[in-house]
Amino acid sequence: MILISDVIRAKRDGRELSPAEIAAFIDGYTSGAVPDYQASALLMAIVWRGMGDAELAAWTDAMLRSGEVIDLSDVPGYKVDKHSTGGVGDKVSLPLAPLAAEAGLRVPMISGRGLGHTGGTLDKLEAIPGFRTDLSVARFRELVDTLNVGLIGQTAEIAPADKKLYALRDVTATVECIPLIASSIMSKKLAEGIDGLVLDIKTGSGAFMARRADALELAKTMVAIGRAAGRDVVARITDMSQPIGRWVGNALEVIESVEVLQGRGPADLRALTIELTAEMLVLAGSDATLDAGRARAARILDSGAALERFERVVEAQGGDPRALTDRSRLPGFRSRLDVAAAADGFVGEMDCAEIGRASLMIGAGRARKEDAIDPGVGIEVHARVGDRVEAGAPLFTLCYNEDREVVAAARRLRAAVTIVDEQAPVPALFGERLG
Protein backbone atom coordinates (compact mmCIF):
# COMPACT_ATOMS: atom_id res chain seq x y z
CA MET A 1 0.00 0.00 0.00
CA ILE A 2 1.30 3.43 -0.97
CA LEU A 3 1.00 6.08 1.74
CA ILE A 4 0.42 9.59 0.43
CA SER A 5 2.56 10.99 3.24
CA ASP A 6 5.46 8.92 1.85
CA VAL A 7 4.80 10.33 -1.64
CA ILE A 8 4.91 13.89 -0.26
CA ARG A 9 8.09 13.16 1.67
CA ALA A 10 9.75 11.64 -1.41
CA LYS A 11 9.06 14.70 -3.54
CA ARG A 12 9.99 17.06 -0.71
CA ASP A 13 13.37 15.36 -0.52
CA GLY A 14 13.90 15.58 -4.28
CA ARG A 15 13.21 12.00 -5.34
CA GLU A 16 11.45 11.33 -8.64
CA LEU A 17 8.06 9.75 -8.09
CA SER A 18 7.22 6.40 -9.65
CA PRO A 19 4.19 5.91 -11.93
CA ALA A 20 2.56 3.85 -9.16
CA GLU A 21 3.02 6.63 -6.59
CA ILE A 22 1.66 9.22 -9.00
CA ALA A 23 -1.34 7.06 -9.88
CA ALA A 24 -2.08 6.49 -6.18
CA PHE A 25 -2.10 10.23 -5.54
CA ILE A 26 -4.13 11.25 -8.62
CA ASP A 27 -6.68 8.44 -8.17
CA GLY A 28 -6.98 9.18 -4.46
CA TYR A 29 -7.39 12.92 -4.91
CA THR A 30 -9.95 12.52 -7.69
CA SER A 31 -12.04 10.14 -5.58
CA GLY A 32 -11.78 12.31 -2.45
CA ALA A 33 -9.70 9.81 -0.48
CA VAL A 34 -6.73 12.22 -0.47
CA PRO A 35 -7.59 15.47 1.34
CA ASP A 36 -6.78 18.97 0.11
CA TYR A 37 -4.10 19.51 2.75
CA GLN A 38 -2.05 16.56 1.48
CA ALA A 39 -2.57 17.57 -2.14
CA SER A 40 -1.46 21.13 -1.30
CA ALA A 41 1.71 19.82 0.31
CA LEU A 42 2.58 17.71 -2.73
CA LEU A 43 1.88 20.58 -5.15
CA MET A 44 4.18 22.88 -3.22
CA ALA A 45 6.88 20.20 -3.15
CA ILE A 46 6.58 19.95 -6.95
CA VAL A 47 6.91 23.74 -7.24
CA TRP A 48 10.16 23.59 -5.27
CA ARG A 49 11.62 20.34 -6.64
CA GLY A 50 10.25 20.21 -10.20
CA MET A 51 9.55 17.03 -12.17
CA GLY A 52 11.64 14.94 -14.52
CA ASP A 53 10.47 14.07 -18.04
CA ALA A 54 9.36 10.51 -17.25
CA GLU A 55 7.76 11.64 -14.01
CA LEU A 56 5.84 14.42 -15.75
CA ALA A 57 4.68 12.07 -18.50
CA ALA A 58 3.32 9.67 -15.86
CA TRP A 59 1.66 12.55 -13.98
CA THR A 60 -0.06 13.81 -17.15
CA ASP A 61 -1.16 10.30 -18.12
CA ALA A 62 -2.69 9.71 -14.70
CA MET A 63 -4.54 13.03 -14.91
CA LEU A 64 -6.01 12.38 -18.35
CA ARG A 65 -7.02 8.83 -17.33
CA SER A 66 -8.79 10.16 -14.22
CA GLY A 67 -11.82 10.60 -16.47
CA GLU A 68 -13.08 9.88 -19.95
CA VAL A 69 -10.64 9.72 -22.85
CA ILE A 70 -12.56 10.40 -26.06
CA ASP A 71 -12.12 7.64 -28.64
CA LEU A 72 -12.25 8.97 -32.19
CA SER A 73 -10.52 5.96 -33.74
CA ASP A 74 -13.61 5.11 -35.81
CA VAL A 75 -13.68 8.63 -37.29
CA PRO A 76 -11.55 8.53 -40.45
CA GLY A 77 -8.87 11.12 -41.03
CA TYR A 78 -6.19 12.88 -39.02
CA LYS A 79 -7.44 14.45 -35.78
CA VAL A 80 -5.54 17.60 -34.84
CA ASP A 81 -6.14 20.55 -32.52
CA LYS A 82 -4.52 23.90 -31.82
CA HIS A 83 -3.99 25.24 -28.31
CA SER A 84 -2.96 28.77 -27.35
CA THR A 85 -1.71 29.73 -23.92
CA GLY A 86 -3.93 32.80 -24.21
CA GLY A 87 -3.69 36.51 -24.37
CA VAL A 88 -5.51 39.71 -25.23
CA GLY A 89 -7.60 39.71 -28.42
CA ASP A 90 -6.59 36.11 -29.20
CA LYS A 91 -9.53 34.93 -31.28
CA VAL A 92 -7.46 32.75 -33.63
CA SER A 93 -9.40 29.55 -32.84
CA LEU A 94 -12.59 30.97 -34.35
CA PRO A 95 -11.32 31.32 -37.93
CA LEU A 96 -8.73 28.54 -37.63
CA ALA A 97 -11.07 25.67 -36.67
CA PRO A 98 -13.39 25.96 -39.69
CA LEU A 99 -10.43 26.72 -41.97
CA ALA A 100 -8.60 23.55 -40.94
CA ALA A 101 -11.85 21.57 -41.20
CA GLU A 102 -12.46 22.91 -44.71
CA ALA A 103 -8.91 21.81 -45.59
CA GLY A 104 -9.92 18.23 -44.73
CA LEU A 105 -8.58 17.90 -41.19
CA ARG A 106 -10.64 16.64 -38.26
CA VAL A 107 -10.60 19.28 -35.52
CA PRO A 108 -11.90 18.17 -32.10
CA MET A 109 -11.48 21.40 -30.14
CA ILE A 110 -12.16 21.58 -26.40
CA SER A 111 -11.64 25.14 -25.18
CA GLY A 112 -11.81 27.19 -22.00
CA ARG A 113 -13.27 30.43 -20.70
CA GLY A 114 -11.47 33.69 -20.11
CA LEU A 115 -10.12 34.51 -16.67
CA GLY A 116 -8.21 37.58 -15.55
CA HIS A 117 -6.76 39.60 -18.41
CA THR A 118 -7.09 36.84 -21.04
CA GLY A 119 -10.13 36.08 -23.16
CA GLY A 120 -11.63 32.64 -23.64
CA THR A 121 -12.73 30.90 -26.85
CA LEU A 122 -15.95 29.66 -25.25
CA ASP A 123 -16.99 33.20 -24.26
CA LYS A 124 -16.48 34.40 -27.83
CA LEU A 125 -18.45 31.50 -29.32
CA GLU A 126 -21.28 31.98 -26.84
CA ALA A 127 -21.57 35.62 -27.94
CA ILE A 128 -23.21 34.13 -31.06
CA PRO A 129 -26.92 33.92 -30.11
CA GLY A 130 -27.92 30.35 -29.28
CA PHE A 131 -24.47 28.82 -29.72
CA ARG A 132 -24.01 25.87 -27.34
CA THR A 133 -20.65 24.66 -26.09
CA ASP A 134 -22.09 22.31 -23.44
CA LEU A 135 -22.63 19.39 -25.79
CA SER A 136 -22.38 15.73 -24.87
CA VAL A 137 -19.33 13.77 -25.90
CA ALA A 138 -21.53 11.74 -28.26
CA ARG A 139 -22.73 14.89 -30.04
CA PHE A 140 -19.16 16.20 -30.13
CA ARG A 141 -18.01 13.01 -31.87
CA GLU A 142 -20.89 13.30 -34.33
CA LEU A 143 -19.89 16.86 -35.26
CA VAL A 144 -16.24 15.89 -35.79
CA ASP A 145 -17.44 13.01 -37.99
CA THR A 146 -19.96 14.97 -40.10
CA LEU A 147 -18.57 18.53 -40.18
CA ASN A 148 -14.89 17.77 -39.42
CA VAL A 149 -15.03 20.07 -36.37
CA GLY A 150 -16.67 20.37 -32.96
CA LEU A 151 -16.20 23.28 -30.54
CA ILE A 152 -17.05 22.52 -26.91
CA GLY A 153 -15.97 23.19 -23.33
CA GLN A 154 -14.42 20.76 -20.91
CA THR A 155 -17.03 18.32 -19.64
CA ALA A 156 -17.15 16.98 -16.09
CA GLU A 157 -15.96 13.63 -17.44
CA ILE A 158 -12.76 14.90 -19.08
CA ALA A 159 -9.68 15.06 -16.81
CA PRO A 160 -11.58 15.64 -13.54
CA ALA A 161 -8.29 15.47 -11.63
CA ASP A 162 -7.15 18.59 -13.46
CA LYS A 163 -10.32 20.46 -12.54
CA LYS A 164 -9.83 19.70 -8.85
CA LEU A 165 -6.09 20.36 -8.86
CA TYR A 166 -6.46 23.63 -10.77
CA ALA A 167 -8.92 24.98 -8.22
CA LEU A 168 -6.52 24.02 -5.45
CA ARG A 169 -3.51 25.54 -7.21
CA ASP A 170 -5.40 28.80 -7.57
CA VAL A 171 -5.63 29.23 -3.79
CA THR A 172 -2.28 27.73 -2.75
CA ALA A 173 0.15 29.87 -4.79
CA THR A 174 1.11 26.90 -6.98
CA VAL A 175 -0.20 28.12 -10.35
CA GLU A 176 3.13 29.45 -11.66
CA CYS A 177 4.87 26.12 -12.08
CA ILE A 178 5.76 24.96 -15.58
CA PRO A 179 5.35 21.19 -14.97
CA LEU A 180 1.91 21.80 -13.42
CA ILE A 181 0.88 24.23 -16.17
CA ALA A 182 2.05 21.87 -18.91
CA SER A 183 0.38 18.78 -17.43
CA SER A 184 -2.86 20.70 -16.86
CA ILE A 185 -3.08 21.75 -20.51
CA MET A 186 -1.86 18.49 -22.01
CA SER A 187 -4.05 16.20 -19.90
CA LYS A 188 -7.14 17.88 -21.38
CA LYS A 189 -5.77 18.02 -24.91
CA LEU A 190 -4.65 14.39 -24.96
CA ALA A 191 -8.11 13.35 -23.75
CA GLU A 192 -9.64 14.76 -26.96
CA GLY A 193 -8.67 11.73 -29.01
CA ILE A 194 -6.24 13.68 -31.20
CA ASP A 195 -3.36 12.43 -33.33
CA GLY A 196 -1.55 15.77 -33.40
CA LEU A 197 -1.42 19.11 -31.63
CA VAL A 198 -0.12 22.55 -32.58
CA LEU A 199 0.82 24.72 -29.60
CA ASP A 200 0.79 28.50 -29.79
CA ILE A 201 2.91 29.63 -26.83
CA LYS A 202 2.52 33.35 -26.22
CA THR A 203 5.23 35.58 -24.77
CA GLY A 204 5.27 39.28 -23.97
CA SER A 205 3.49 41.66 -21.63
CA GLY A 206 0.05 40.15 -22.26
CA ALA A 207 1.05 36.51 -21.85
CA PHE A 208 1.20 34.32 -18.76
CA MET A 209 4.76 33.54 -19.85
CA ALA A 210 5.94 37.16 -20.22
CA ARG A 211 9.60 36.11 -20.41
CA ARG A 212 10.67 34.38 -23.62
CA ALA A 213 12.87 31.95 -21.68
CA ASP A 214 9.84 30.78 -19.70
CA ALA A 215 7.76 30.46 -22.87
CA LEU A 216 10.47 28.31 -24.43
CA GLU A 217 10.69 26.10 -21.37
CA LEU A 218 6.92 25.63 -21.36
CA ALA A 219 6.93 24.81 -25.07
CA LYS A 220 9.72 22.23 -24.68
CA THR A 221 7.93 20.67 -21.72
CA MET A 222 4.60 20.36 -23.53
CA VAL A 223 6.18 18.97 -26.70
CA ALA A 224 7.98 16.34 -24.60
CA ILE A 225 4.75 15.34 -22.86
CA GLY A 226 2.95 14.97 -26.19
CA ARG A 227 5.70 12.89 -27.73
CA ALA A 228 5.86 10.64 -24.68
CA ALA A 229 2.13 10.03 -25.19
CA GLY A 230 2.73 9.08 -28.83
CA ARG A 231 1.28 12.24 -30.40
CA ASP A 232 2.68 14.52 -33.07
CA VAL A 233 3.34 17.92 -31.48
CA VAL A 234 4.83 21.18 -32.70
CA ALA A 235 5.06 24.46 -30.77
CA ARG A 236 5.41 28.01 -32.01
CA ILE A 237 6.47 30.97 -29.87
CA THR A 238 4.37 34.00 -30.85
CA ASP A 239 4.19 37.59 -29.70
CA MET A 240 1.74 38.90 -27.10
CA SER A 241 3.31 42.29 -26.39
CA GLN A 242 0.23 43.94 -27.92
CA PRO A 243 -3.32 42.75 -28.61
CA ILE A 244 -4.03 40.55 -31.62
CA GLY A 245 -6.13 42.39 -34.17
CA ARG A 246 -8.10 45.58 -33.64
CA TRP A 247 -10.69 44.46 -31.11
CA VAL A 248 -10.80 43.08 -27.58
CA GLY A 249 -14.21 41.81 -26.50
CA ASN A 250 -16.33 38.78 -27.27
CA ALA A 251 -18.91 39.71 -29.94
CA LEU A 252 -16.46 42.24 -31.38
CA GLU A 253 -13.88 39.49 -31.80
CA VAL A 254 -16.48 37.30 -33.52
CA ILE A 255 -16.97 40.08 -36.08
CA GLU A 256 -13.22 40.34 -36.60
CA SER A 257 -12.90 36.57 -36.99
CA VAL A 258 -15.56 36.61 -39.68
CA GLU A 259 -13.59 39.29 -41.52
CA VAL A 260 -10.65 36.87 -41.67
CA LEU A 261 -12.96 34.13 -42.96
CA GLN A 262 -14.03 36.57 -45.68
CA GLY A 263 -10.43 36.93 -46.82
CA ARG A 264 -9.96 40.26 -45.02
CA GLY A 265 -9.18 41.17 -41.42
CA PRO A 266 -6.10 42.52 -39.62
CA ALA A 267 -2.76 41.37 -40.97
CA ASP A 268 -1.55 39.83 -37.70
CA LEU A 269 -4.76 37.83 -37.12
CA ARG A 270 -4.79 36.57 -40.70
CA ALA A 271 -1.08 35.64 -40.50
CA LEU A 272 -1.52 33.72 -37.25
CA THR A 273 -4.57 31.87 -38.60
CA ILE A 274 -2.75 30.87 -41.78
CA GLU A 275 0.53 29.94 -40.07
CA LEU A 276 -1.00 27.74 -37.39
CA THR A 277 -3.31 26.06 -39.89
CA ALA A 278 -0.28 25.36 -42.07
CA GLU A 279 1.41 23.71 -39.08
CA MET A 280 -1.66 21.50 -38.65
CA LEU A 281 -1.61 20.54 -42.33
CA VAL A 282 2.08 19.61 -42.18
CA LEU A 283 1.59 17.55 -39.00
CA ALA A 284 -1.21 15.65 -40.75
CA GLY A 285 0.92 15.06 -43.84
CA SER A 286 -1.64 16.90 -45.98
CA ASP A 287 1.06 19.32 -47.12
CA ALA A 288 4.74 18.57 -47.31
CA THR A 289 5.96 22.05 -46.40
CA LEU A 290 4.79 25.06 -44.44
CA ASP A 291 4.89 27.14 -47.63
CA ALA A 292 2.46 24.76 -49.30
CA GLY A 293 0.24 24.76 -46.22
CA ARG A 294 0.23 28.55 -46.05
CA ALA A 295 -0.72 28.82 -49.72
CA ARG A 296 -3.59 26.34 -49.35
CA ALA A 297 -4.90 27.99 -46.18
CA ALA A 298 -4.83 31.42 -47.85
CA ARG A 299 -6.70 30.11 -50.92
CA ILE A 300 -9.44 28.60 -48.75
CA LEU A 301 -9.83 31.79 -46.71
CA ASP A 302 -10.06 33.93 -49.82
CA SER A 303 -12.65 31.61 -51.40
CA GLY A 304 -15.15 32.05 -48.56
CA ALA A 305 -15.46 28.28 -48.11
CA ALA A 306 -14.20 28.38 -44.52
CA LEU A 307 -16.88 30.93 -43.61
CA GLU A 308 -19.53 28.64 -45.06
CA ARG A 309 -18.11 25.83 -42.93
CA PHE A 310 -18.29 28.02 -39.84
CA GLU A 311 -21.93 28.89 -40.60
CA ARG A 312 -22.75 25.17 -40.73
CA VAL A 313 -20.94 24.56 -37.42
CA VAL A 314 -22.77 27.46 -35.76
CA GLU A 315 -26.13 26.14 -36.93
CA ALA A 316 -25.29 22.57 -35.87
CA GLN A 317 -24.39 23.80 -32.37
CA GLY A 318 -27.64 25.72 -31.94
CA GLY A 319 -26.45 29.18 -32.97
CA ASP A 320 -27.81 31.70 -35.45
CA PRO A 321 -25.52 31.61 -38.52
CA ARG A 322 -27.04 34.88 -39.77
CA ALA A 323 -25.30 36.64 -36.87
CA LEU A 324 -21.93 36.01 -38.52
CA THR A 325 -22.66 38.45 -41.33
CA ASP A 326 -25.36 40.61 -39.72
CA ARG A 327 -23.75 42.25 -36.68
CA SER A 328 -27.12 43.63 -35.55
CA ARG A 329 -27.93 40.07 -34.47
CA LEU A 330 -24.93 40.01 -32.09
CA PRO A 331 -24.85 41.60 -28.62
CA GLY A 332 -23.84 45.25 -28.84
CA PHE A 333 -22.79 48.31 -26.85
CA ARG A 334 -24.50 51.65 -26.30
CA SER A 335 -21.67 54.11 -25.60
CA ARG A 336 -18.13 54.94 -26.71
CA LEU A 337 -15.26 56.80 -25.05
CA ASP A 338 -11.99 57.61 -26.81
CA VAL A 339 -8.71 57.37 -24.90
CA ALA A 340 -6.36 59.89 -26.52
CA ALA A 341 -2.59 60.14 -26.75
CA ALA A 342 -1.14 62.70 -24.35
CA ALA A 343 1.75 63.71 -26.63
CA ASP A 344 3.09 63.49 -30.16
CA GLY A 345 5.48 60.65 -30.85
CA PHE A 346 5.58 56.94 -31.51
CA VAL A 347 4.01 54.05 -29.61
CA GLY A 348 7.00 52.53 -27.87
CA GLU A 349 5.55 49.82 -25.65
CA MET A 350 2.18 48.49 -24.59
CA ASP A 351 1.39 46.81 -21.30
CA CYS A 352 -0.88 44.32 -22.98
CA ALA A 353 -2.08 42.74 -19.73
CA GLU A 354 -3.33 46.16 -18.59
CA ILE A 355 -5.38 46.45 -21.77
CA GLY A 356 -6.95 43.10 -20.94
CA ARG A 357 -7.67 44.25 -17.39
CA ALA A 358 -9.32 47.42 -18.71
CA SER A 359 -11.63 45.26 -20.83
CA LEU A 360 -12.47 43.25 -17.72
CA MET A 361 -13.44 46.46 -15.87
CA ILE A 362 -16.13 47.30 -18.44
CA GLY A 363 -17.52 43.76 -18.37
CA ALA A 364 -15.77 41.99 -21.27
CA GLY A 365 -13.95 39.57 -18.94
CA ARG A 366 -14.14 38.03 -15.52
CA ALA A 367 -11.94 38.24 -12.42
CA ARG A 368 -13.48 35.06 -10.96
CA LYS A 369 -14.82 31.99 -12.73
CA GLU A 370 -18.35 32.67 -11.49
CA ASP A 371 -18.45 36.27 -12.78
CA ALA A 372 -20.86 37.13 -15.59
CA ILE A 373 -19.60 38.92 -18.70
CA ASP A 374 -21.23 41.36 -21.09
CA PRO A 375 -20.62 39.84 -24.54
CA GLY A 376 -21.26 43.07 -26.43
CA VAL A 377 -18.63 45.36 -24.90
CA GLY A 378 -14.92 45.75 -25.54
CA ILE A 379 -12.05 47.92 -26.71
CA GLU A 380 -11.08 49.11 -30.16
CA VAL A 381 -7.30 49.36 -30.58
CA HIS A 382 -6.34 52.21 -32.91
CA ALA A 383 -2.55 52.29 -32.54
CA ARG A 384 0.11 49.61 -32.46
CA VAL A 385 3.76 49.50 -31.45
CA GLY A 386 5.82 51.59 -33.85
CA ASP A 387 2.89 53.73 -35.03
CA ARG A 388 3.17 57.51 -35.21
CA VAL A 389 0.54 59.22 -33.02
CA GLU A 390 -0.45 62.84 -32.37
CA ALA A 391 -1.59 64.37 -29.10
CA GLY A 392 -5.36 64.13 -28.86
CA ALA A 393 -5.67 61.31 -31.40
CA PRO A 394 -7.38 58.15 -30.07
CA LEU A 395 -5.21 55.25 -28.95
CA PHE A 396 -8.23 53.19 -27.89
CA THR A 397 -11.99 53.44 -27.82
CA LEU A 398 -13.91 51.95 -24.91
CA CYS A 399 -17.21 50.45 -26.12
CA TYR A 400 -19.44 49.93 -23.08
CA ASN A 401 -22.93 49.58 -21.62
CA GLU A 402 -22.39 50.45 -17.94
CA ASP A 403 -20.76 53.71 -16.81
CA ARG A 404 -19.41 52.76 -13.40
CA GLU A 405 -15.83 51.67 -14.26
CA VAL A 406 -15.31 53.47 -17.55
CA VAL A 407 -13.22 56.39 -16.27
CA ALA A 408 -10.94 54.07 -14.30
CA ALA A 409 -10.63 51.77 -17.34
CA ALA A 410 -9.67 54.77 -19.48
CA ARG A 411 -6.93 55.73 -17.01
CA ARG A 412 -5.62 52.17 -17.10
CA LEU A 413 -5.52 52.20 -20.90
CA ARG A 414 -3.73 55.55 -21.04
CA ALA A 415 -1.09 54.29 -18.61
CA ALA A 416 -0.65 51.08 -20.63
CA VAL A 417 0.98 52.92 -23.56
CA THR A 418 4.41 54.52 -23.63
CA ILE A 419 4.94 57.32 -26.16
CA VAL A 420 8.56 57.81 -27.29
CA ASP A 421 10.36 60.29 -29.55
CA GLU A 422 11.89 57.78 -31.93
CA GLN A 423 10.11 54.97 -33.74
CA ALA A 424 10.24 51.74 -31.76
CA PRO A 425 10.97 48.40 -33.45
CA VAL A 426 7.86 46.39 -34.27
CA PRO A 427 7.85 43.09 -32.34
CA ALA A 428 8.20 40.00 -34.53
CA LEU A 429 4.93 38.07 -34.59
CA PHE A 430 6.59 34.65 -34.91
CA GLY A 431 9.48 33.35 -32.86
CA GLU A 432 11.01 29.93 -32.35
CA ARG A 433 9.54 26.68 -33.70
CA LEU A 434 9.93 23.52 -31.61
CA GLY A 435 9.05 20.03 -32.67
Rounded Cα distance between 65 and 145, Å, is 24
Q: Under DSSP, is residue 100 helix (H, G, I), strand (E, B) or coil?
A: helix
Amino acid 359 reads S
Is 90 catalytic? The answer is: no
Which of 11, 79, 83, 382 is catalytic? The answer is 83
Is 124 catalytic? The answer is: no
Which of 184, 205, 257, 359 is catalytic? The answer is 184
Is 188 catalytic? The answer is: yes
Angstrom CA distances, 53 to 37, 184, 292, stand at: 26, 15, 34
Which of 82, 164, 169, 294 is catalytic? The answer is 169
Q: Angle, to 10 degrees, between the axis of helix 53-64 and the axis of helix 19-31?
A: 30
Is 83 catalytic? The answer is: yes
Is 117 catalytic? The answer is: no
Per the CB < 8 A criterion, the answer to whether 355 and 379 are in contact is yes
Per the CB < 8 A criterion, the answer to whether 93 and 109 are in contact is yes
Which of 91, 106, 113, 188 is catalytic? The answer is 188
**160-163 contacts: CB < 8 A, separation 24 or more?**
160/30, 160/66, 160/67, 161/26, 161/29, 161/30, 161/62, 161/63, 161/66, 161/67, 161/187, 162/63, 162/66, 162/187, 162/188
Rounded Cα distance between 277 and 333, Å, is 32
Query: Which residues are identified as catalytic?
Result: 83, 162, 169, 184, 188
